[in-house]
Amino acid sequence: MAKIAINIATGSLQQNEVIVGIDLGTTNSLVAIIHPESKKLIAIKEHDSSSLVPSVIYFGNSNEVVVGEKAKEYLISNPAQTIFSAKRLMGKTYNDIRDGIKNFSYQIIDEDDKLVKVKVNNNFYSATELSSLILKELKKSAEHILKTPVNKAVITVPAYFNDAQRQATRDAGKLAGLDVLRIINEPTAASLAYGFGLSNEEEKIIAVYDLGGGTFDISILKIHNGIFEVLSTNGDTFLGGDDIDNGIVQYWLSKFKETANISQQQLRVLAEKAKKILSDTDNFMVEINGIILALSLPELETIIKPILNKTLECSKKALKDADLTIHQIDEIIMVGGSTRSPVIKKEVTDFFGKKVNDKVNPDEVVALGAAIQADILAGNTKDVLLLDITPLSLGLETAGGLMDVLLPRNTKIPARASRQYTTQKDGQSGIVISLYQGERDLVKDNRKLDEFILKGIPNMPAGFAKVDIAFLINADGILKVSAKELRSGVAQEILVKPQQNLSDEDVEKMLQDSIKNAKEDITIRALVEATTEAEQLLNTTEGFIQKNIHYLSQQELLSTSEALQALQLSLSMGDKNLIQLKMEELNAISKPYAERVMDLAVNSAMSGKKI
């Protein structure tokens, strides 16, 4: 078996192999490389076709999966089974996307505080699983064109992505069979593609204005001697070209009454087409089903204006946070397909008071930068600083024996990360915190580092305690883990040496095992998470019924009992989709009477009182 040779201190690979850069986008995704022979920076494309792969997934009636350009054909003919803008769902709960739910043509499960799930053909998919299918298609395409296996990648994310969204992106890569060497911010990648930071140039301050399909970022970077320092970042993970498309659709719906005969998805596809055409012309017109739809450039500019104003407000905040004025910005880089619009270029130029730099293809610039970062990690570019990194992921054990990663592999050190947890049982007075190192989804397959107990948690109902667990790793690789219950102030900490007794061969084997077992690990994780969630739902529902049985009708009690039994039975079947289906059915039965009982309780509590 081939070994993966890694320098523990720098994270660089010690052998020549293809490492790709991937821009996993909301609307389109693509792969780029520095060609191993010509040393040219290129975006990979099939023959003379576009380098862009639409981030669209179609699930057929027999659960066959189609990704990319062919999947787009089903956006109109079968919208309920065709997933788009999956990136907008990464790390999100239903509450996060509630206001924009009408813009999705497929079913998103309504669970307020749970991460979003999509239901297609009675199967349930997380945003991570959906993104993995896109990454798998990119991997397959790259291997076909390059005629060589592609197993390692650098993947970009918006600078505004939080830890959960970054970890979801890593997990998606692993599920696609990729060893994700680094997750880097899109503005950093864009700066590399423009050549900034690749030589010992004079200090420059760069604003990266990135308006993609689903997200907007404005980042202020200071670059000196090959070192990238992020001075500030601002943006919106739910603002982009999709909103322009939706704005065009709403405009047509209000102006052309006949659009009632055209599906929402057809309008959205036409809106995207109109937006692109109006980047080069002044008018757009199309006839569909005997109805003429038109849009002029001034009308488009009116639609874009509110979205553009939001991006400029974010830009003002980023400048303020960096304690800079617009006159101190040396370069403005334009990134993302939406920046092709002339009105956006003009307004951004006016805002910063200097011409924007859009010389590199805005659709490809992020992937090209990721390819440069991949080349740096491979040890081929020596002038850019690479800080020491964590050779393996660091995390702790959660319900069901799962590994919850706080510091992913290849995190630059020193580093700090924290996350909040809670108790599982009423009156729970302590939490066992078990620390692990490794890349597998189950802790039993990873290396245990240490364990300690946070004691003295006050008597509270399950879920009320808020325990903040923080990982802090210093430049010497010493890990300090602290735990604090935020309501009571009870705290405990421990020092660990996460790299002790680990040889290069140990690291290599653990990485190989994680890639080899990625699909099985993700499947097991999804089943364990569904099982844990189902058990919590069973306990919550049974407890609610015991306390409120006199408020429920006999029919409601009977229906609930049958749904509880069906869910309990599904737990023994080992089928994630079946468990989630039975949870959905139980929620559908219990939600109406739970809301009714809550209303009665509120009315009773407020009776005779004035506000």
- pLDDT tens digits, one per residue of 390-415: 778 899 999 889 999 998 887 777 78
In terms of pLDDT, which residue wins out, 164 or 542?
542
Residue 14: pLDDT band by 50, 70, 90 thresholds?
A: very low
**Residue 179 is among the residues annotated as catalytic for this protein:** no
Fold match flag (19-194+362-377 vs 241-303): no
Contacts of 476 (CB under 8 A, 6+ apart): none
> If 0-12 CB within 10 Å is exposed, 13-18 middle and 19+ buried, where does residue 519 land?
middle
Rounded average pLDDT over 549-556: 89
Lowest-pLDDT range of 34-38, 106-110, 231-235, 443-447: 34-38
Q: What is the mean pLDDT of the chain?
A: 85
Share of the chain above pLDDT 70, in %: 90
For residue 213, give the amino acid letter: G
Q: In this structure, which amino acid lies at residue 266?
A: Q
Of 180-194, 215-229, 269-283, 452-466, the least confident: 215-229
Q: Cα separation of 8 and 6, whole Å?
A: 6
Assigned superfamily of 19-194+362-377 = ATPase, nucleotide binding domain (3.30.420.40)
Instruction: Assess whether pLDDT exceeds 90 at residue 159.
Output: no
Quickly state the pLDDT bin for 4 (edges 50, 70, 90): very low
Predicted pLDDT of residue 142: 92
Edge-first strand listing for the sheet containing 204-211: 227-236, 216-224, 204-211, 331-335
562 carries an active-site annotation = no
Does domain 394-504 fall under CATH 2.60.34.10? My reply is yes
Is pLDDT above 90 for 118? yes
Separation of alpha carbons 396 and 519, rounded Å: 21
User: Residue 8's pLDDT is what?
Assistant: 36
Q: Where would I find the H helices in 353-468?
A: 365-377
pLDDT band at 523 (very low <50, low <70, confident <90, very high): confident
CA gyration radius for the chain? 26
404 is catalytic: no
- Residue 202 pLDDT class (50, 70, 90 cuts): low
Nearest to 393 by CA among 482, 280, 307, 511: 511
Q: Which residue has the higher pLDDT, 285 or 462?
A: 285
Specify the CATH number for 520-606; select among 3.40.50.300, 2.10.240.10, 3.40.50.740, 1.20.1270.10: 1.20.1270.10
Catalytic residue among 186, 272, 347, 397: 186
The reply to whether 210 belongs to the active site is yes
* pTM higher than 0.75: no
Q: Is 251 exposed, middle or buried (0-12, 13-18, 19+ CB in 10 A)?
A: middle
Domain ranges of the chain: 19-194+362-377, 241-303, 394-504, 520-606
Q: From the options 3.40.800.10, 3.40.50.11710, 3.40.1080.10, 3.90.640.10, give the CATH code of 241-303.
A: 3.90.640.10
DSSP state of 87: G
Q: How confident is the model at residue 378 (pLDDT cuts 50, 70, 90)?
A: confident
pLDDT (tens digit per residue) in 66-82: 999 999 989 888 999 99
User: Alpha-carbon distance 449 to 421, whole Å?
Assistant: 20
How many C-alpha atoms does 196 have within 13 Å on its Cβ side? 27
Q: Which of 129, 179, 210, 272 is catalytic?
A: 210
Lowest average pLDDT, out of 152-166, 194-208, 371-385, 494-508, goes to 494-508
Listing DSSP states for 289-350 in one string gives TTEEEEEEHHHHHHHHHHHHHHHHHHHHHHHHHTT--GGG--EEEEESGGGGSHHHHHHHHH
Q: Which amino acid appears at position 24 of this protein?
A: L
Q: Which of 87, 136, 152, 582 is catalytic?
A: 87
Q: Which of 28-32, 180-184, 350-354, 501-505 has the lowest mean pLDDT?
A: 501-505
Window from 351-355, 463-467, 514-518 with minimum mean pLDDT: 514-518
Task: Give pLDDT, residue 94.
Answer: 87
Average pLDDT over residues 550-564: 92
Distance between CA atoms of residues 88 and 74, nearest Å: 20
